[in-house]
């Protein structure tokens, strides 16, 4: 296990401003801080990273002693993870190629908004994690300032009108297309879903970038706009 300097939230927010042009420093710093703040120690734990992307989160988990396996639906992302010495495979977060109750924990950063069926996603989490295990999930909710990803800020017009307006002005996006690779995911509906789930308990929920302001999530409407990125801590029954 490696002892690391933990980036401040102010520093991470500063890096966010240049995320589109230079993403690695932002995602590396965010991963380091996120793993350091997990409610459980991961040293010695078996963890699946669902939607590993650049692999920074898996590396941060490994640095704290976790035994990590990563999957990503994008084969190139899986190859990048392999290049970082992380066991990885190209697979969907809705159908991971592992047996039931294989892992002590599941980690999933900014994938939920990219799956067409959140219910199936949480069902898969529950299948993969052993009873008594945990899951950490975060996602960019649709009405946050970055909710539209590649069509931001026109997503506030709605997925159809926003996409049409963006395509007229700038050409059709090739990534994170609403209705194809990006879906309207609201905090209210996700909280309802996990609260009603038969196998998962919602232990905590907070704005990922400013966790001290948990009260925001208790205010319907406001939470959809100001949360930016919502994080959940779940326990497998």
pLDDT tens per residue across span 95-120: 999 999 999 999 999 999 999 999 99
Q: Is the pLDDT of residue 6 over 90?
A: no
51 with 71: CB under 8 angstroms?
Answer: yes
Backbone phi, psi, residue 200, to 5°: -120, 140
Mean pLDDT across the chain? 92
pLDDT tens per residue across span 185-214: 999 999 999 999 999 999 999 999 899 999
CB atoms within 10 A of CB 134: 24
Q: Is the pLDDT of residue 59 over 60?
A: yes
Structural domains of the chain sorted by starting position, each given as residue range(s) with its CATH number in brackets: 9-141+185-236 (3.40.50.150), 146-179 (no CATH)
Provide the whole-model pTM: 0.92
Tell me which of 128 and 87 has the higher pLDDT. 128
pLDDT at 72: 93
């Amino acid at each position: 296990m490696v002892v690391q300097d933990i980036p401040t939230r102010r520093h991470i927010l500063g890096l966010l401003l240049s995320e589109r042009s230079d993403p690695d420093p932002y995602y590396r710093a965010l991963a380091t801080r996120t793993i350091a703040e997990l409610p459980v120690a991961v040293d010695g734990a078996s963890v699946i990273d669902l939607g590993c992307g650049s692999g920074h989160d898996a590396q941060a988990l490994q640095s704290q002693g976790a035994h990590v396996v990563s999957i990503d639906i994008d084969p190139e992302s899986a190859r990048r993870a392999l290049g970082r010495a992380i066991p990885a495979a190209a697979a969907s977060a809705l159908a991971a190629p592992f047996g039931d109750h294989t892992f002590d924990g599941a980690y999933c950063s900014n994938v939920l908004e990219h799956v067409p069926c959140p219910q199936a996603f949480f069902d898969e989490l529950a299948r993969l994690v052993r009873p008594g295990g945990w899951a950490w999930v975060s996602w960019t909710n649709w009405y946050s300032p970055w909710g539209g990803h590649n069509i931001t800020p026109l997503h506030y017009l709605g997925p159809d009108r926003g996409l049409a307006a963006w395509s007229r002005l700038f050409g059709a996006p090739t990534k994170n297309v609403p209705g194809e690779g990006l879906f309207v995911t609201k905090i209210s509906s996700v909280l309802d879903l996990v609260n009603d789930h038969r196998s998962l308990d919602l232990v905590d929920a907070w704005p990922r970038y400013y966790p001290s302001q948990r009260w925001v999530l208790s205010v319907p409407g406001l939470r959809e706009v100001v949360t930016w990125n919502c994080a959940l801590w779940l326990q497998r029954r």
